[in-house]
Structure 1
């Protein structure tokens, strides 16, 4: 009988270290997932690093193993691209009409102004309808959970989790941007005061009136005014419209940027699955 080995050897399995790029993406998604995504530079940086992560061989292996969950992500990214593109288009269209109002105001063209305000108001209503549909479409994003298989590695779970969180952060961004232009239902009241002056009063339900809503209020007040345009009031409306135009231009640029990024991300993932 062989004598027992006097040396007891213990096998130690060290946990595999996470890839540096994967670790970086995980660090980025945590704070963005816990708050409203208002830091656009942080979001852009996240997508830059996400592109780097998707180009890694280890990520390609994970995506191939998790094809079922990845297909769900691809469908969600398609919805995000569609919503982003529609929102950018409607913002651009309303911005054109808004600039038409600005042009008439600067010319002090009362006759042309009324028609322009009417067209602009209709475009705002159409915008609300279209963005409401986009918001409804976003409700379907992430409805099907993306879960790695039970036999998957820890790295599989990590990669799928950051992709899922990036998707959720993007949805939150789009909802935040769209909510700026979806008008809340309010009761508009025209109150006649002393000396037949007109004052607009809005029931806000204790909610702060946004700049977008202030523009509508100011233009309705202009329409209700007499044929003479008061210079002080015109200056105030021009200031509001200029500010709104700048904001809309910024949002249009943001949406264009993220639409391109979403398309690129989706194409990268799709290429991994089809190659």
Structure 2
């Protein structure tokens, strides 16, 4: 993470108010990102990141910054910023894709639950499809996390170059947290996952599962335990019917996806502004 430092936009005496606003928002974002341990806190961090890009858009409207960018059209740092903006768009798109895929599979499971008749229940195929989708999603997430490590987080620049690089570095940090949360425990500790799975398999059907840091993790473990139990002694209907986790997760996905969509639009706007400045 880039270190905090005072900066100026080469104005005669004091820093420009928009530069101060950017630094304040960056500090606020660092604080919220460090405390992001749940879906709600991650969503707030993403909202703060969106606000940071509002400041970036304001900075790019300043004539002096536009001159700096245009005069450095062929410089390495401008190329890095442009390349970074494209990669951030891809990263945001991948995040939304895995969320939508998980949501669709969850809806399939709940649809079967609503359509069941005469007490019969068979959601084995839907659960298997969900777990397969999650496996694919985790592969995508791991690739994204690997790609993010290739971002150059060093920043010894000043002015608009420093701010653009700081914004991209912070974006990488935020999306690392978001993707790790979506990916669940498999990206961090398989031991913890199997501990949770064993507890789920041995608890009574009317007993709620332990709270976990990630609703994705909780649903993954619950559905895997259902598959294991079905293979041993048949489907535990009561356990499935009491799975409020799925509804909670679907709500989480909806909120995160809406915030990511808004952030994606800001990424597009920032990149378009940069390209317009450099082409004029």
Contact 2:65 2:160 in 1 (8 A): yes
8 A contact 2:103–2:250 mirrored in 1: yes
Match of 1:16 in 2: 13
Q: Give how far 1:211 is off.
A: 2.1
CA distance in 1, matches of 2:24, 2:221: 44
Distance 1:101 1:132, change over 3 A: same
Q: Distance in 2 between matches of 1:191 and 1:60?
A: 59
- Asked whether the equivalents of residues 89 and 268 of structure 2 are also in contact (C-alpha less than 8 Å), the reply is yes
Q: Residue 247 of structure 1 corresponds to which residue in structure 2?
A: 252
Aligned to 2:25: 28
Q: 1:191/1:63 Cα in 2 relative to 1: closer, same or farther (>3 Å)?
A: closer
Q: Is the 8 A contact 2:113 2:121 kept in 1?
A: no
Is contact 1:70–1:146 with CA below 8 Å preserved after alignment? no
Q: Does 1:55 align with 2:61?
A: yes
Partner residue of 1:174? 175
- Based on CA coordinates, which of the two structures has the bigger radius of gyration? 1
What is the number of equivalent residue pairs in this alignment?
241
1:94 and 1:120 in contact (8 A); partners too: yes
Residues 209-224 of structure 1: pairs in structure 2 closer than 5 A:
210-223=214-227, 224=229
Residue 107 of structure 1 corresponds to which residue in structure 2? 115
Helix, strand or coil at the partner of 1:46: helix
Runs of 4+ in 1 over 3 A off after TM superposition: 37-41, 106-112, 145-148, 187-192, 225-230
Deviation at 1:64, TM superposition (A): 2.1
* Residue in structure 2 matching 1:135, options 127, 145, 169: 145
Q: Does the 8 A contact of 1:79 with 1:141 survive in 2? A: no
Post-superposition offset of 1:77: 1.0
How far apart are residue 142 of structure 1 and its match?
2.6
**Counterparts of 1:35 and 1:142, CA distance in 2:** 22
TM-score, normalization: structure 2? 0.76
Q: Find the aligned partners of 1:34 and 1:165 in 2 and give their Cα distance.
A: 15
In structure 2, do the counterparts of structure 1 residues 228 and 72 end up closer, same or farther at CA, with 3 Å as the change threshold?
closer
Query: Pick from 234, 237, 241: which aligns with 1:230?
Result: 237
Deviation readout 1:13-40 (Å, 9 max, x if unpaired) = x952222212211222133245517434
Shift of the alpha carbon at 1:209? 5.5
Cα offset, 1:119, TM superposition:
0.7
**Is 1:160 matched up with 2:161?**
yes
Match of 2:99 among 54, 78, 91: 91
1:55 CA displacement = 1.1
**Structure 1 residue 116, shift from structure 2 partner:** 0.6
Task: Identify the structure with the greater helix proportion.
Answer: 2
Task: Tell me if the contact between 1:73 and 1:146 (Cα under 8 Å) persists in the aligned partners.
Answer: no
Q: Which runs of 5+ in 2 are unaligned?
A: 1-10, 35-41, 204-211
TM-score (norm 1): 0.77
- RMSD of aligned Cα (Å): 2.7
Judged with a 3 Å threshold, the aligned counterparts in structure 2 of structure 1 residues 147 and 70 are, in CA distance, closer, same or farther, namely: farther
